[in-house]
């Protein structure tokens, strides 16, 4: 069963970040039990801090000095 279309990327990101309302978390948890596409979509949206740090590591050295 595919129910993931009812959730926006913003809602799913809030869920992953632990910032979603309890009611939304309950709805997503229930949908995850029956919708593997939703699980895949969440995995695609789940970007770890290590990946973000790696992407920006070189930029800090290039940044201008703060006044």
3-state secondary structure 48-59: CHHHHHHHHHHH
pLDDT tens per residue, range 5-28 = 589 999 999 999 999 999 999 999
The mean pLDDT value of the chain amounts to: 87
Q: What is the pTM of this model?
A: 0.68
Question: What values do phi and psi take at 3, rounded to 5?
Answer: -115, 0
* Coil, helix or strand at residue 63: coil
For residue 59, the model assigns a pLDDT of 85
The pair of three-digit structure tokens given for residue 56, joined into one six-digit string: 């920006």
């Amino acid at each position: 069963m595919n129910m993931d279309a009812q959730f926006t990327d913003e809602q799913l990101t809030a869920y992953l970040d632990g910032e979603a309302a309890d009611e939304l978390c309950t709805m997503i948890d229930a949908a995850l039990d029956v919708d593997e596409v939703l699980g895949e979509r969440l995995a695609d949206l789940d970007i770890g801090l290590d990946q973000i740090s790696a992407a920006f590591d070189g930029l800090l050295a290039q940044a201008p000095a703060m006044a």
